Amino acid sequence: MKTIIEPFRIKSVEPIKMTTRKDREEYIRVANYNLFSLHADLVLIDLLTDSGTSAMSSEQWAGILRGDESYAGSKSFYRFHRAVSEIMPFDNIIPTHQGRAAEKILFSVIGGEGKKIPNNTHFDTTRANVEFSGAEAVDLVIEEGKDPQKLHPFKGNMDVLKLEKFINETGTENIPCVMITITNNSGGGQPVSMENIREVSHICKKYDLPLIIDACRFAENAYFIKIREEGYSNKSIKDIVREIFSYADGCTMSAKKDALVNIGGYLCLNNDDWATQARNLLIITEGFPTYGGLAGRDLEAIAIGLEEILHEDYLQYRIRSTEYLGEKINAEGVPIVLPVGGHAVYIDAKAMLPHIPTEQFPGQSLAVELYLEGGIRGCEIGTVMFGEAAQMELVRLAIPRRVYTQSHIDYVIEVIINVYKNKDKLKGMKFTYEPEVLRHFTAQFEYVD
Ligand code: F0G
């Protein structure tokens, strides 16, 4: 087997500003030890998120210039519509400015007091939008999906027994739809199998409930199906993607992930009545239904991104390079969520730093140390983010698409291993300012003595 190379050449570069540990000690102190408060140019390798951080191709940039900015019925909208229909053939396709706008509109139409919406695991914005409508968000991922060390090829699967029990207990009149998130971001970027999607769809049909897919990382999920699920190794990614969506009645999409763009999203629905209500809301919040909060040029870039994401060379490189990072650090003893997911490596800070109690934020301490040691910015997903509800203390290193090369990743590996060697010296942290909501974004910290 030869080295899997980045299947692209680099045409335009963005310089990285080099800094020393001493510089970074000052920068992070001024930022009150909150990585969200850092100016991005003081970061060497930015792994805060894979969302909206993709490098666009020269074709996409050419599309940006071709974008038709007509207010209504622009050529770019029709190109976008064709590209989405090609793989997600739903009756109504409604552009929005990003994924959460599609969620907000959907749950304004179908959510509300007394309603319950099951999902494998709701992503934070999905949960927030369900709850904002007055409905309840219920997570029904399989048990394996909750154990960071447990190996399972499709840890994002929905527990179908629990789903059926939930439907019987809740009553179909209180369940406006069933959702599946592919890949399951909050569970570590873990894929869902085709078999599971099919089973969930059977249950939905049996009880006459619509199935809505949170489609952000649909192509990464399709690639996992191709390499891990029996019967799919000879199928094209496009056929696998079409099969996935054939089981659903709609989807919400953040184009900032697998459509390889910096902004954008959409909502797809087969139900014409819901779609009419959604378009009415769209007009008062996002814009006219043929642009929905985006410029024509953005729609053009999404259309091209949706074609490029299906390339198998790209997906092989993408999934393997994330796995490569996880494998190398895990081989040196660094505890991570296994198996490695599609878009990110999650370090288990609780297992790595047993001397730091959860109330002293082991994930935050580790995230800050990765910045100090190597200028790497990751994201704490633990007690800082979720408070006492946190089930794990993780640091997510999300890999932007087509942005970093293997030597960047090798550097990240070296930094993590250095930090791991000195892990016993890391200290716990405490709040010096604790905001009431979404505290991870604006909290301030210092070290515990
Ligand atoms: N659903 C999932 C599974 C997501 O991962 C995200 C965003 C959204 C919905 C919302 O989409 O950001 O376009 O409004 N995830 C980003 C992340 C923010 O860093 O994981 P959006």
Specify if 318 maps to a domain.
yes
SS (HEC) of the chain: CCCCCCCCCCCCCCCCCCCCHHHHHHHHHHCCCCHHHCCHHHCCEECCCCCCCCCCCHHHHHHHHHCCCCCCCCHHHHHHHHHHHHHCCCCEEEEECCHHHHHHHHHHHHCCCCCEEEECCCCHHHHHHHHHCCCEEEECECHHHHCCCCCCCCCCCECHHHHHHHHHHHCHHHCCCEEEECCEHHHCCECCCHHHHHHHHHHHHHCCCCEEEECCCHHHHHHHHHHHCCCCCCCCHHHHHHHHHHCCCEEEEECCCCCCCCCCEEEEECCHHHHHHHHHHHHHHCCCCCCCCCCHHHHHHHHHHHHHCCCHHHHHHHHHHHHHHHHHHHHCCCCECCCCCCCEEEEEHHHHCCCCCHHHCHHHHHHHHHHHHHCEECEEECHHHHHHHCCCCEEEEECCCCCCCHHHHHHHHHHHHHHHHCHHHCCCEEEEECCCCCHHHHCEEEECC
Residue nearest (by alpha carbon) to ligand 1 atom 19: 49
Residue nearest (by alpha carbon) to ligand 1 atom 8: 99
Q: Does one domain contain both 216 and 272?
A: yes
Distance from the CA of 124 to the center of ligand 1, in angstroms? 8
Q: Does one domain contain both 316 and 423?
A: yes
Helical axes 75-87 vs 237-246, angle rounded to 10°: 90
Among the atoms of ligand 1, which is closest to the Cα of residue 185?
A: 3
Specify if 11 maps to a domain.
no
Choose one of 308, 334, 354: the last residue of a domain: 308
pLDDT one digit per residue (tens) for the chain, 449 residues: 889 999 999 999 999 999 999 999 999 999 999 999 999 999 999 999 999 999 999 999 999 999 999 999 999 999 999 999 999 999 999 999 999 999 999 999 999 999 999 999 999 899 999 999 999 999 999 999 988 889 999 999 999 999 999 999 999 999 999 999 999 998 889 999 999 999 999 999 999 999 999 999 999 999 999 999 999 999 999 999 999 999 999 999 999 999 999 999 999 999 999 999 999 999 999 999 999 999 999 999 999 999 999 999 999 999 999 999 999 999 999 999 999 999 999 999 999 999 999 999 999 999 999 999 999 999 999 999 988 878 889 999 999 999 999 999 999 999 999 999 999 999 999 999 998 877 899 999 999 98
Q: Does one domain contain both 240 and 345?
A: no
Which domain CATH number covers 426?
3.90.1150.10
| Chain centroid offset of residue 14 CA | 24
Choose one of 256, 276, 308: the last residue of a domain: 308
Specify if 6 maps to a domain.
no
Choose one of 276, 308, 340: the last residue of a domain: 308
Q: Does one domain contain both 398 and 252?
A: no
pTM as predicted: 0.96
Residue nearest (by alpha carbon) to ligand 1 atom 1: 123
Specify if 115 maps to a domain.
yes
State residue 325's pLDDT score. 98
Distance from the CA of 99 to the center of ligand 1, in angstroms? 6
Among the atoms of ligand 1, which is closest to the Cα of residue 100?
A: 14
Pocket of ligand 1 (CB under 6 A): 49, 51, 98-100, 123, 125-126, 181, 185, 214, 216, 254, 256, 265
Q: Does one domain contain both 33 and 182?
A: no
Q: Does one domain contain both 229 and 250?
A: yes
Q: How far apart are CA 379 and CA 329, in angstroms?
A: 17
> What range does the domain containing 334 cover?
21-50+312-447
Q: How far apart are CA 53 and CA 89, in angstroms?
A: 27
The number of domains in the chain is: 2
Mutate to test the pocket of ligand 1, among 46, 254, 379, 401 (most ligand atoms within 8 A of CB): 254
Q: Does one domain contain both 329 and 181?
A: no
State residue 1's pLDDT score. 80
Which domain CATH number covers 134?
3.40.640.10
Q: Does one domain contain both 179 and 282?
A: yes
Residue nearest (by alpha carbon) to ligand 1 atom 5: 185
Whether the upstream peptide bond of residue 183 has omega within 30° of 0, thus cis, is yes
